[in-house]
Structure formats: C-alpha cells, structure tokens
Structure 1
Amino acid sequence: MEVDKLADQVSAIEKAVSNGTKVPEVQITTLIEMLMRQAIKLDSISTEGDASAQKNLQGKRVQKCVETLDALKLSNGKVKPVVVTTKWETFDPPPTTAHWEFFD
C-alpha cells in the first residue's frame, strides 16, 4: 500500500511537470528517498514462491518510480516558470485609411 501511495505521488509530479509547472526539487528528492526506504524494506523481507515474485514486482515498480523521478528532476530544471500578470498589453489599432485611398 505504501508503494501505491508513493507511485500516485510520482504520477502527480509527472503530470505537473508535463503541464509546465515547476515542482520544488526538494519534493522530488524527498519522494526518491521515501521510495529508496521502501526498496530497503522490500529487500529485508524473506519470501518464498508467489510472495517472492510479488516482492520482485514491487521492487521493479519502486525502481521504475525512482528512474521516472530522476528524469523528471532533469526536465523540471528546464521548466521556465510561467509569469501571470493582470496588466494587459494594449496595441494601437491600425490606421483607418480606406483601402482605395492608396490608389490615387
């Protein structure tokens, strides 16, 4: 269940970065550390049979999440923050000279 929660957080960060939102690097690093702790817990569990296969699947899942976060950390650094202002730019309207006046 813990890996599921962390994987959901990875998905949320992935979605935010793909939408152009800059995620604090500390948030990504913390999530990587939490995933690594889960990997250590998985390694310390002794299993046999189907439980061993399940443990291996969870281990691969944790590894994939960490790899995803590493890639996101790089692309997140390239995201330029979007600046939103409430001051609108105005443009001067084009001259109101009639088209046929150019053919005199």
Structure 2
Amino acid sequence: MNTTELAEFLHEQLAADEREPGGWSRARELAEVDAKRGLITLLLDTTHTVCEDPWYTCGAATKEREGERCPDNNRRGHCDCGRDRLVLAGLQLLALPYAERPGYQAEWAPNA
C-alpha cells in the first residue's frame, strides 16, 4: 500500500472540507482541518528507530530520512521497528470518514 498516495488523498479531502462547510461552525471546521493536517504531518515525519549498534537499527532507516546517526550498512529494506505500521494505521483512520468520496480505495480501510 502506498502511504504517500493515501496522504495525498487525505489532503484533497481536507481541502474539500474547507470549501464545503457542513454542520459545524466555520471556525470549528477549519480547526478540524488544521488538526487533521497536523496529524498527517506528525505521522509522516515519524522516523524509524536508529541505534548506535546497527543490529538494532530499523531495516528501513536511511541517512536521508533519519540523519547521520543511521549506519551506512543498514540496508535490510523492510521496517521492523513499527513506524510504517503506525503511519499506515493513522492515515487509514484519518481517511475513513472519506470512504464514500471518489478516489477512496477500499484497501485503505483499516483491517482491509
């Protein structure tokens, strides 16, 4: 599953929420949109586990994302620290209210 695509979908839906107010006050709706955007940023900015000993560093960690602390020989590729699972679960939950909108993918549903 592509978390970048899911995050982009969420951003589009939040933009639609800003344009089409519902039952909340406008201030409340904008606060909701800001909060969801903040959660998306928080999730996507979460880093993989990096330890001094490369054996305990997440296999998906890279210097580009996690910084210079990440060892060069850390190229196992898959996430074994839980970061990717957490990010995906958070994005799936944020997308759930938009399940009836065009562009939503059934595979994004939690536990799909």
TM over 0.5: no
Structure scoring higher RCO (CA < 8 A, sep ≥ 6) equals 1
TM-score, length basis structure 1: 0.39
Task: Looking at secondary structure, tell me which structure has more helix per residue.
Answer: 1
TM-score (norm 2): 0.37
For the pair shown, the structure with the greater C-alpha radius of gyration is 1
